[in-house]
Structure 1
Amino acid sequence: MNNYKLNVIYHNSKVGTLIYTNHLASFQYDTDWIANGFSISPFSLPLSTKIFTPSFQPFDGLFGIFNDSLPDGWGYLLMDRIIKQNKVDTKRITPLYRLSILGSSTLGALEYKPNETIYKKDSFERNLDEINEQCKLILNNEKSDSLDYLFKNAGSSNGENPKIFKRYNNEDWIIKFANSQDSNNIGIQEYEYSLCAKKCGIQIPNTHLFESNNCPGYFGIKRFDRKDNTKIHMASASALLETSHRLPNLDYLDLLKLTFYLTKDISQVKQMYKLMCFNVFSHNRDDHSKNFSFLYDDNKWQVSPAYDLTYSNSFNGEHATTINGEGANPTKRDLLQVGLDFGLDTNFCKLIIDKIEDIVKTDLAKYL
């Protein structure tokens, strides 16, 4: 397999071609896609016949939209283990090689061909407690006999927590497990955060607390990049703005502006505003640029449902995304100012701030 060239595919149609030279992955749209498709990343990759080459390298030479297809955290750990297990020549391990390993098993709707499958088939089903124990082995750098199974079912996943992609009630779900720093109650905590967010009027997918014999339960969330067995194109704020989520360089005002630019819909902006308020009052401070995404469906962009909502900290205990420039101790005044700076109605902002504060303080008091 030539890991210096890959075709990018969407719903069985060729979007374009990636070519990797001098540590940069250039991209060119396919002619038919230009005539009938859409821009997969409006700022960096507008529909054009030109060859696009990244001008800077926050993503190892990839454009952000293709970096979104690669895992980080848990998924990246699994990928590295599977590469090591198969004794792959290190000279072959480029970002395009990693994309080729994932092939059609990526998050979102973009796929990559030719695909190179390096994991062994493992169709033996495990229950969630068994999967959790195998995840612990991998986190502890111990040998697991389920590595191929885990990579097949979670190799494209993001975030620090181990997780698995599962079918549940004929739908696609993500089920999360505790990492080495989490308490035994992390599953029920994230579940209760999701219920609170719904009560606050925040759009969030269906969630479920899956039973366990070893802990209060495992948190599960329905995948929003899948709809009726169809893959939905997805782009994080990190990808769209070509900025690493490891760099805390965004403010929520930037996210409101990005939302309006993409959606042209003030109701979508209000959704993002509600999420900002929830994150502040619920102490969800790991609010980096990969934790905000947009979906392209029915020929339009929209804010994705909220995800990764739980008590958390980021750099130095601050918010990864600032609120009116404040990351350590944002106030209600800061929340209001972000809304006013965008142009939202004062009464709307005050109402949302007070409503979400009251709900969060009541429903999540034991975590705050």
Structure 2
Amino acid sequence: MISKASATECFVYITLPGETSAVTAGKFVLSQNARNDALGQFVYRSKYLEDPRAVEIDPVELKLSKRTYETVRLNGVFGALRDAGPDYWGRRVIEKHAGKAQFGELDYLLESPDDRAGALDFGVNTEPPAPKRQFNQTIDLEKLQALADAVVRDDLPNDPQAQQVQDLMLLGTSMGGARPKAVVQTDGALWVAKFNRADDSWNNTRVEYAMLRLARECGLVTPESRIETVGGKDVLLVKRFDREKATKGYTRARMVSGLTILRSEEAPEARQNWSYPVLVEELRRIVEEPKKDAKELFRRVCFNALISNTDDHPRNHAIIAQEKNWKLSPAYDLTPSTPVSLERRDLALDCGDQGRYANANNILSQHARFLLDRPEAEQIVNDMKAQVERAWYDTMRSHGVSEQDAERISTAFVYPGFSL
């Protein structure tokens, strides 16, 4: 448990490619500058820089170097470190477990369990601790669902010694998004288990599962997924693409979000900097196969527009590196919405000359920045529109979405404004 005073420094550990245990990459210090702004400083450890296996923490801000990196953005926390921290749901779990709501940014990093996304970990000791290598099993899903329900209802004991509170950190904290989740181990792999909420308008787990399948039918790269039904409730399992089973544990891929690539943040005033054309240009400078990944990102923009996924914010895009080179991660968090307007719907990021407008002509207006010529881009848009129009209902129903839920969501798909 962290001390009452917020932490101001920590060591940053990294699991190198092909390894299952971490080494110390460097030290991070959070202080204030002369103007009382939060100032973050990071320096790589000399021993790490001398290691021939050393890899950069991220290709945007923290490249391998002897220099001391500094930032006043994001309350002094570098983007790649923030990406390894807990999401909204994870912060809520940590706060409930600790019995308080006042945490500094570093405290969240230090309090997160080993399920965090990517290859980083954090601690107060110079050398990293041994990995715990203990994970929930699918037989724990009913218990985890009950814990998630209790967090959503704000119905947990205040006593930090209570068993429910002690069990709370079994839930996932760092895999993106605000929905209840946990990490489980089954079939020799790690999976993110996503739970429904009592106040959901439809069976979200079934619908998201169907969207992952529909995305594959449209040619997108998505992680392996499946549905488990436990205690009469559906749980979506999505295989983690930042972990691979090895003899002594799990190797870990580095992971950096689109938010970090854009050098942006989640505050409303920063959203003017959220842009798919800018994201793809930055992506092209980083990844090993720019043309392949640029085309894949273009397809995702089209798919998000066609299913009215208006929650396609930059943290729902990422690059990963299982070895030294970076690539676009599989698509994740693909969820439809049902805005009232039939003429205009907006994505979370600008996607063309008309800003965030989820419209075919708007998306096509920036085709060149995705390294596509106009005819190829038009073919992608037309083919995907036809596929979603033709298959969304059958895909939903064949993957367990009820007829009632399919009807509720029907206006999400190929809304009229897409083709205006």
| Paired residues of 1:69 and 1:99 also in contact (CA < 8 A) | yes
Correspondence for 2:417: none
Label 1:124 to 1:187 Cα distance change in 2 as closer, same or farther (>3 A). Answer: closer
Correspondence for 1:222: 239
Give the letter aligned to residue 10 of structure 1. Answer: I
Q: 1:53 aligns with which of 64, 70, 77?
A: 70
Q: Which has the larger radius of gyration?
A: 2
**Following TM superposition, by how much is the alpha carbon of 1:34 offset from its aligned partner in structure 2, in angstroms?**
2.8
Q: 2:104 aligns with which of 89, 94, 97?
A: 94
TM-score, normalising length from structure 2? 0.77
**Following TM superposition, by how much is the alpha carbon of 1:258 offset from its aligned partner in structure 2, in angstroms?**
2.1
The within-5 A match list for 1:18-37 is 18-22=28-32, 23-35=38-50, 36=52, 37=54
Task: Provide, for residues 17-41 of structure 1, a one-character-per-residue CA deviation record: whole Å limited to 9, x for no partner.
Answer: 0112223331001123334323222
Give unmatched runs, 5+ long, in structure 1. Answer: none
**Following TM superposition, by how much is the alpha carbon of 1:330 offset from its aligned partner in structure 2, in angstroms?**
2.5
TM-score, normalising length from structure 1? 0.88
The within-5 A match list for 1:1-368 is 3-11=7-15, 12-22=22-32, 23-35=38-50, 36=52, 37-56=54-73, 58=74, 60-84=75-99, 93-102=103-112, 104-114=114-124, 127-143=140-156, 145-179=163-197, 181-215=199-233, 217-228=234-245, 229-246=250-267, 247-248=270-271, 249-265=273-289, 266-312=291-337, 318-326=346-354, 329-365=357-393, 366=406, 367=409, 368=412
Secondary structure of 2:29's aligned partner: strand
In structure 1, C-alpha distance between the alignment counterparts of 2:321 and 2:257, rounded to whole Å: 11
| Paired residues of 1:233 and 1:295 also in contact (CA < 8 A) | yes
Give the letter aligned to residue 363 of structure 2. Answer: L
| Paired residues of 2:351 and 2:362 also in contact (CA < 8 A) | yes
| Paired residues of 1:103 and 1:113 also in contact (CA < 8 A) | no
Give the letter aligned to residue 293 of structure 2. Answer: Q
| Paired residues of 1:105 and 1:111 also in contact (CA < 8 A) | no
Label 1:126 to 1:45 Cα distance change in 2 as closer, same or farther (>3 A). Answer: same
The size of the alignment, in residue pairs, is 356
Label 1:39 to 1:214 Cα distance change in 2 as closer, same or farther (>3 A). Answer: same
Identity %: 22
Task: Provide, for residues 216-257 of structure 1, a one-character-per-residue CA deviation record: whole Å limited to 9, x for no partner.
Answer: x22110001101221111000112333113443322111221
Give unmatched runs, 5+ long, in structure 2. Answer: 16-21, 33-37, 158-162, 394-405, 413-420
In structure 2, C-alpha distance between the alignment counterparts of 1:125 and 1:193, rounded to whole Å: 23
| Paired residues of 1:234 and 1:293 also in contact (CA < 8 A) | yes
Correspondence for 2:19: none
| Paired residues of 1:173 and 1:222 also in contact (CA < 8 A) | yes
